[in-house]
Every structure is written in C-alpha cells, then in structure tokens.
Structure 1
Amino acid sequence: MSQELFQEVINDLEKLLTTEIGYDVIIYAGENENIKELHAHSNILCTRSQYFNTAFSNEWAEKKDGKFIFKKPNVSPHLFKMILRFIYCGKIDLNKLQGPEVLKLLIVVDELNIQSLISYIQNYLINHRDEYLQQDPIGILEAVYQHESFTDLWNYCLEKVCQDPKMLFNSDKFTSLKSSLLKLLLERDDLELDEIFIWDSLLKWGLAQNPSISKDVTKWNKEDITIMERTLHGFIPLVRFYHISSEDFLDKIYPIKKLLSKDLAKDLVKFYIAPDRKPNIDEIQPPRKSKLIHVVYDSILIERQHFAIIASWIDKKKDLYYNARNIPYNFNLIFRSSRDGNTPAAFHSKCDNKGPTIVIAKVANSEKIVGGYNPFQWNSSNQDMPTIDSFIYLFTDKNDIKTAKVGYSKGDQHSVRNLADYGPGFGSGTDLICWNDGRWLRSSAASYPEINGIPTGFFNVDDYEVFQVI
C-alpha cells in the first residue's frame, strides 16, 4: 500500500526557505533604502522557473564566492518573498495586496516565466479585483498589452471597456492612450459608443497630440489641417460615418471635412442630402452592436450579471466565472409567482417536466436574493432525488454581485424535493422550500452547507421566478 504525504514535503521545503540551509543564490530585491538580500537554492529555482533554469544552464548569472548573484531592483522585497514562497511550496496569498501590487506581481511572475502563477494571478484579478481594473483602465490596458501571456486578463479588460467604454473615453488619461490601443478599440464592433461621440473623442485625442493647434476648429489654418489629417489618418476609416445623424454631420463633421478623403467627403454629402437614396458604395460598415443585445433574460428580480454567476455555479467553475458576454446557457422564464399565482398548483402546472431549472426569490423588505438549482426536473411524485449537482445560493445584496454565496448538495437522497403540495424544495431539514401557503422556510442546514445570511424560519418573498436552463 502506497501513501502520498505531500503536505509533509511542502512543509519541509517551506522550512528550507526559512532556514536557508545550504543556499547558493543571493537575490538583491528592491533598490536604495528598500533593498534587501534574499537567499535561495539554485536547484529549486531552476526546477520551478524557466527564467532561472535558463540563467543557470547558460551561466549568464553573476557568480561570486561560489554563490549566484541576482539583482532585481524593479521588484520589492515583499513581492519577491511571495514569489519564492510559491516556488518552494506552492503557497501564495494575494488578499493582503492592493490592486496595483497584484498587477506588479503578475508582471514579475511573467518575467520569471512561472506559468501556473501567471494563470492564477490573472484569474484572481478578474474575479476579485474588478473595481481596481475599472479605476485605471488605460494604465492597466497598456500594461497588459505589453505581455502576450496575459491573454485572459487582456480579453477581460477589453470586454469591460467595450461594455462601458466611457470609463476610458471620459478618463483624464484618455488623451495619453497609445495610438495602437486606440486603433484596436475603434476596430471593435462591440464598442458601445455613438459614432459622433467617437468622432468627438478622436478630435480630442488628436488635439492633445498637437497642443499648438487651437481647439476652435474655425481657427485652423491650412497647416493645422494638414497636421491633424496626418495624426488621424489611420483612424478616419474606423469611424462609421453613415451611422451619424444628419444634424451632427452638418455641425461637427462637415466644417472640417478636409480631414476626410475627397471620395469619402463627397459620398457622405450625397448620403446626407438624399438619405432615402441607397448609396452607391460597396462596403458600408454596419452599426456597432453590443454582444449583449441578442439575448435578454426576462427577470424582474436580477440582472444579466447574476445569470452569469449562476451559469458558473452550474458548471462548477471555481476560479473564473463567466462574464455577461459568454454565458453558455439560455434561461427561459416559465414561472413568476406574481403573474402565475403563488400556489403549489400553479408552480407544478408551469414547471413540472421542464428539465433543469433555476429558482430565484427576492426576500421581502431586503435586497437579498435566494434560490436553488434543480439539475433534473420538477414533478409531483412526492419522491425526493439525490444529486451532488444541485445547489442553493444567496446574494446578500442583489446590487453587489460580490456578496454571492453558493452551497452544493452533499449528495443525500433529499437533495431535490418533489412535493405535490409544496413549491420548489431543496434538502431535508428543510434547507430551503416554498411552503404550501406561499411563505418560504429554512429550518436548518442538512443536505447543503450552511450559508450565513439566508433567513431562518418562515419568511416572505416579494416575488419568485423559475427559469428553464437550456
């Protein structure tokens, strides 16, 4: 019989880092008064980091008195200690770091080529530091843009900016945005901005690159127009002029039409003079369109971002939730108590034999949302069903998705309760059930883990909905 006692090995390696017995690497982290000497072991660094493996194998690391010397002035001693701890024993705690520190740590980890930690830190920023990512979208985008391995974070930031682009375009730092990034954004079909706002922003950006030119376009001379034309040359084709109102075209574009090519200016004038006449133009870009438009979930209790989290729970995604753009399910409303009747008969009439469903209820006189997921189908057989895939959940404040909590069934025979005289029910005890008089009950945590915040005893809900999960 073999046993794998990983924890003992991990503890010993962590102790080796602390005691520094037999170290042959000296790392000077930080600079000036913040510099600190750290000690490590080359064989462990070489095994766990491609950066150190290359350094030792190619012998380009400085060596003095039999010890390898590394100088990392761009990394604080605190962050490098965290990296060493992860290298030695796989442990890391990001919760005490501020958002900028987490991003700095990610950049250093990328330099050291520790792939597993690159992925972990990206997921942590996406799931737990969304507020930070929105505070400085330009700085973060530019930082992430320089690192090819930050794919998950890059895609997430781009989607956030396209979903709420004014947080970037209205930023004080917008005019400092690199041209390559601005072009990339304007190429996006899902950039949720009016074209005239994009045109105004583009002029604002162009003027910031040429501060000697007056912001009053009526004062531009021939040289000013030439300079602005060169500055905006690569951007003009990205503006979808045919989706701007005639008033805005007349007031904001026509006066400086010399910035446009002669053919484009001529075609636009024809188009706005006779808008009902089909333009003789082979390729007119379609209007920008949000990726969120094609599916609208008919809930009066929660928003799309809540459904994204619920979808993540269904797929048991622990590290990286779906976002509002990549939900892999449709949620079809089949029951609403305020519309269909708050009775067990109404519930079973609408919901029985409809396949997997999610139940959503808003607790009266609060912002709490409670509910559960049935991976089977409801019926009136009075027979409970075991599963490890069902769950109950809570949003302590529906306006703050970070308050979400979930608990999966322990797998006992009462995971899902099909009671003809009651509404949806989960767990023996009872963990969560709609009682036969329309009230809800949570008496104890039995089939599911305890979720602090779900009301105990009988409580009322303002409304509850059931969605078929497709």
Structure 2
Amino acid sequence: MFYQDLKELSTNLSQLFTLENKQPVFSDFLVVTRNKTFECHRAILHARSAYFRGLLRSQMKETTEGKVEIRDISSEVMKNILTYIYTGSLEITRDNAIEILISSQKLLLDQRVLDNISQFVVRHVSLQNVAEVLSLSSRFSFETIHDYCIRFCILNFRELIHESSFLFLSASDLELILAADDLLIDSEQQLLESIIHWAKNRRDFNGQNEDLYQDEKNSPKNLIQKRLARLLPRIRFCEIEQTQLQVLQKQGILTNELFDDIVEFQCLRTQKVNAEEIENFLRKCKSRYSKSNFLAFQPRNCFPDSLVVSIKNTKLVNFLKNSIEDDVFFSQMRLGYSARQHGFFPLAFHEKVDNKGKTLVLMKTVENYIFGGYTEVGWVTDKQKWSTVNANWGWIGDPKAFVFVLKPSVNGEDHTPQKFDIKKGEEKWAILYRDTAGPQFGYDIRITSWDVNSVFDMIYSNLGNNYQLEGSDNPFKQKRKIPDSLEAWKIKEIEVYFI
C-alpha cells in the first residue's frame, strides 16, 4: 500500500520559504533581485532548478558567498517562481505570463512548466496583444508561441488591420503572414492598402514612429520605400484591378516592367487564348523574377471552387506545392472536372480531362479521407504514347507521377499528407487509360465502372503496389476489404485540375 499526501507536503515545504513578516527556517542561501532579497535553501534550489543546480555545484563566488544576484527578474516574478520551486504552485495571469515564461526559461525549470505556461499564453492571445507576444516570442525563441501567433494573425487578418497593434508587427513577421495562401482578407487591394498604412505608421513598443529619424539617408520617405520593397513581393498583384495597378505604377510602388507583365497576364486570362500561350508567357516571367516576386502572378487561393480542399487545409496545399514544384502550374491551373458538376461516370471524366497534360486529381470519400494523384503526362488518347496497348485500354508511363492520401483531421488538427512516388522500374504503369474507368494510378488507386455511362461511386486502394509506400505498414488495413483484397471507399467528390 502507498500513501501520498502531496498537499500536506506542499504546505510543509512552503513554511520553509521566506514570506512577509516571517523569519526564515534554516535558510542558507540568498537570492537577490532588484528590490528584494529572498532567503532560501540550497538543497531545495538544487533539486528543483537546473540553473541553481549548476550554480551551486560550481566554484563560483555565488557559491562561496552564499548569494546570487538576479537583477533582470522582478521581485514579484521571482517570488512566484520560488513559491513554485518550494510548493509546485505557480500563479499565472495574463499580466505576468510572458515574464514568468522568460524567467522560468532563464532558471531552467522543468520543460513541463514551460509548456504549461506556453499553453496559457496562446489561450490568451488576442487582437490587442498578438504583436507584443510575437515580439517577445521572437526575442526569446519561443517557437511554439510564435508559430501560433502567426497562424492567429493569418486567420484574423481582416480584423487585425483595424487594430493599433497591427502597426507594432515586425517586418519579418508580416512577411510570414503575407506569404500564407490561406490569409483571410476581403481582397488583395485591401491587403495592399493595409501594408502601405503599416509602412507609413510602423511603431515600436516605446510608442514612437520608427520613421522619425534626422538622418537624411533614413528619412521617413526612404524608410517607407524600404519597408514596402520588403513586403510588396508578397502581394498577389494579378488579383488587383488594372485601374488600381496604374495608380501604384504612378506612385512608384510598382515597377514599369512588373506593371506591364501583370496587365498582359490579366489580358491573356480574359481573352480566349489557348492554355499553352499563357503557360509560355508565365514561364518567361518566372525566368525574369525571383521566386518571391513571382508570387505577383499567383492567386492566393489555388482552390477557390473546391469542395475537396478548403482554405484551412494549409498542410495539404503546402504539400502539393512542394511536391509538384511548378509555380506556373499553380498560377494557372483551373478546375476542369468535378464529378458533382459533370457527372460520376467515365464519359464525363474523359470528355473533360483527356489530353490536358499536367493533371492533379483530388478525391474525397464519405469518411473524409482525401486521395489524390499527380501526373505530368495526363490521360492522353494517342496510343503511340502509351507504354502498353490493349484493345481499348493501355498504361501510360510517367516517372514523375505520385499519389497521396490525407487522413481526416482530429480535434481540428490536420495531418500531413502521406506521399507515394512511382517505384523505380514501375514507371510504365503510372496511370491507366480505359474508357470505362475514371482516374487510375497504377493498381494503387483506381475508380472503375462497367461501361462509359455507368456511375462510379467507389475508390479502390491498394497502396504500395506500383507506388512506393513510405514505411512497411499500410495505414488502411483497418478498412473493410472487397473480395479481391483491395479496399473500398465511398466517393464523395472527384476534382481534376489542369492548365
């Protein structure tokens, strides 16, 4: 039998700690802050803090003198932390949480303490304090808090730009925010106006406008231009009306070259020109501009009409961009086939998808799994381009094809998609062309039906067949099997994207 009385233990230990108007009990070490001295016990400090443990084991003067001066921690915070060291109780409020976190990190308290304080901080991030929390988390390398605050700004940007705290954001943090494809804004024009406002009125945490310098080199006008030069590459100018672009050109915000290219790109998109002409134009632009400047030609939301991918699927969108590695494709791709819109049968699929070149397929199941695949060749009808030919079907080779699967989110937390590249030696079986089938990638993901007008409503998956499965365990073994040992999934939607 074990008997525990942790509450009594905490109470007894607290009696050893120096409190107001009470004499210390057997204290043998002093902790000195800016305006208060705490009488403590070496053994307890040694047991509860790696900072004090290292100090007390050393031969430094603090050990021999029996005191340490810590002037960069306030007496109120030090008292709170010492109370925790003695009793395990820590009083955290909105006003002291960040300071306690910084001090706890300095004193090398247990990681669980730091994690609990960090969780408290992120729970109380608001439009009013997010800039300050971002600044402190950057300064003291609290990466979890910093990442949370960046996401908070991305998802609340419409409201944030109307808060005074917006002007306190750093340029580096704004760069991260503006780069997000899922940045929630009403329009790219609104975003640009807010950035210009920030550049003109940027403030530090002393309440001053950073543009107020006497040095001619760092005059307000020059500083504004420098700030805009850093952030403008994050603006998607292709989504701003031409009349507004002309104003930006006259103001010197937009270079003549970029203005001309953006306007030409917008004209090509509205005219009835073939996709190849637009793609060639974009590839010429890509060769002239840096990766960040090329964002001007890319819509912020790559999947505006999708029922499969929402703006919140950040991990999936980033995965696709990193896997396909073709900015031009994402700049120009459009939804060409939707099963719900055009029909759940092969004839509709092939009428919309055949001979489109680079193709991205997204499939969602009723269980909210997302399957997908990418091919640079696409479903070509020219049998001479097939790697193997039969009567009315054949395999199409593609060494750059891949498939992926994304599990449903859990408690609002998205998974990272799992990617399966085509196996070496299996490239000629990358995708199947069959007039009675929908999209099929090897024998790994396939959608079939009896004839061209029969409805297909199931996805059959056998991952790890022609495509390389990362690891040895198939994460879908728990799904029910159909007779030929493949796994069946009820289709909710199929979407196909191409230029």
**TM-score, length-scaled by structure 1:** 0.51
8 Å CA contact 1:292–1:324 kept in 2: the answer is no
- 3-state SS of paired residue (1:26): strand
Q: How far apart in 2 are the matches of 1:101 and 1:111?
A: 15
Structure 1 counterpart of 2:164: 172
Q: How far apart in 2 are the matches of 1:118 and 1:3?
A: 29
Structure 2 counterpart of 1:202: 195
Q: How far apart in 2 are the matches of 1:74 and 1:325?
A: 38
Structure 2 counterpart of 1:124: 120
Q: How far apart in 2 are the matches of 1:15 and 1:325?
A: 45
Q: How far apart in 2 are the matches of 1:245 and 1:260?
A: 13
Q: Decide which moves more: 227-236 or 134-143.
A: 227-236
Please give the per-residue CA displacement for 1:204-245, whole angstroms capped at 9, x wherever unaligned.
2333368589xxxxxxxxx99876544432322211111223
Q: How far does residue 188 in structure 1 lie from its aligned partner after superposition?
A: 2.0
Q: How far apart in 2 are the matches of 1:84 and 1:212?
A: 43
Structure 1 counterpart of 2:260: 266
Structure 2 counterpart of 1:285: 298
- Confirm or deny that 1:326 pairs with 2:413: yes
Q: How far apart in 2 are the matches of 1:7 and 1:24?
A: 25
Q: How far does residue 267 in structure 1 lie from its aligned partner after superposition?
A: 0.7
Structure 2 counterpart of 1:430: none
Please give the per-residue CA displacement for 1:175-215, whole angstroms capped at 9, x wherever unaligned.
343222222222222221232122112222333368589xx
Structure 2 counterpart of 1:153: 145
- Confirm or deny that 1:23 pairs with 2:27: yes
Alignment partner of 2:235 out of 239, 244, 250: 239
Q: How far apart in 2 are the matches of 1:152 and 1:229?
A: 32
- Confirm or deny that 1:91 pairs with 2:89: yes
Q: How far apart in 1 are the matches of 2:7 and 2:243?
A: 70
Q: How far apart in 1 are the matches of 2:2 and 2:412?
A: 47
8 Å CA contact 2:249–2:256 kept in 1: the answer is no
Please give the per-residue CA displacement for 1:106-142, whole angstroms capped at 9, x wherever unaligned.
2211222212221111222334x35xx3322211211
Structure 2 counterpart of 1:134: 127
Aligned residue identity for 2:69:
F
Structure 1 unaligned spans of 5+: 214-222, 296-321, 329-470
- 3-state SS of paired residue (2:230): coil
Aligned residue identity for 1:23:
S
- 3-state SS of paired residue (2:16): helix
Structure 1 counterpart of 2:77: 79
Q: How far does residue 25 in structure 1 lie from its aligned partner after superposition?
A: 2.1
Q: How far apart in 1 are the matches of 2:212 and 2:118?
A: 41
Check 1:236–1:56 CA distance in 2 against 1; reply closer, same or farther (3 A cut): same
Check 1:7–1:227 CA distance in 2 against 1; reply closer, same or farther (3 A cut): closer
Report 1:414-433 matches (<5 A).
Answer: none
Check 1:109–1:263 CA distance in 2 against 1; reply closer, same or farther (3 A cut): same
Aligned residue identity for 1:25:
F
Q: How far apart in 2 are the matches of 1:166 and 1:92?
A: 36
Q: How far apart in 2 are the matches of 1:173 and 1:293?
A: 25
- 3-state SS of paired residue (2:53): helix
Report 1:46-445 matches (<5 A).
Answer: 46-60=46-60, 62=62, 66-75=65-74, 77-94=75-92, 97=93, 99-114=94-109, 115-127=111-123, 129-130=124-125, 133-148=126-141, 150-193=142-185, 194-208=187-201, 211=211, 228-251=224-247, 253-256=248-251, 258-277=252-271, 278=278, 280-282=281-283, 284-288=297-301, 293=311, 326=413
Check 1:153–1:212 CA distance in 2 against 1; reply closer, same or farther (3 A cut): closer
Aligned residue identity for 2:298:
Q
Aligned residue identity for 1:246:
Q
Q: How far apart in 2 are the matches of 1:324 and 1:126?
A: 17
Aligned residue identity for 1:265:
F
Q: How far apart in 1 are the matches of 2:223 and 2:119?
A: 43
8 Å CA contact 2:128–2:163 kept in 1: the answer is no
Check 1:24–1:225 CA distance in 2 against 1; reply closer, same or farther (3 A cut): closer
Aligned residue identity for 2:112:
S
Q: How far does residue 84 in structure 1 lie from its aligned partner after superposition?
A: 0.9
- 3-state SS of paired residue (2:69): strand
Please give the per-residue CA displacement for 1:378-434, whole angstroms capped at 9, x wherever unaligned.
xxxxxxxxxxxxxxxxxxxxxxxxxxxxxxxxxxxxxxxxxxxxxxxxxxxxxxxxx
- 3-state SS of paired residue (1:259): coil
8 Å CA contact 1:27–1:72 kept in 2: the answer is no
Check 1:212–1:136 CA distance in 2 against 1; reply closer, same or farther (3 A cut): closer
Equivalenced residue count is 278
Q: How far apart in 1 are the matches of 2:212 and 2:103?
A: 39
8 Å CA contact 1:137–1:168 kept in 2: the answer is no
Q: How far does residue 48 in structure 1 lie from its aligned partner after superposition?
A: 1.7
Check 1:227–1:159 CA distance in 2 against 1; reply closer, same or farther (3 A cut): closer
Q: How far apart in 2 are the matches of 1:56 and 1:233?
A: 52
8 Å CA contact 2:30–2:37 kept in 1: the answer is yes
Q: How far does residue 11 in structure 1 lie from its aligned partner after superposition?
A: 3.3
- 3-state SS of paired residue (1:87): helix
8 Å CA contact 1:207–1:228 kept in 2: the answer is yes
8 Å CA contact 1:17–1:88 kept in 2: the answer is yes
Aligned residue identity for 1:206:
A
Aligned residue identity for 2:259:
A
8 Å CA contact 2:29–2:39 kept in 1: the answer is yes
Please give the per-residue CA displacement for 1:79-102, whole angstroms capped at 9, x wherever unaligned.
2222112112211233xx3x1222
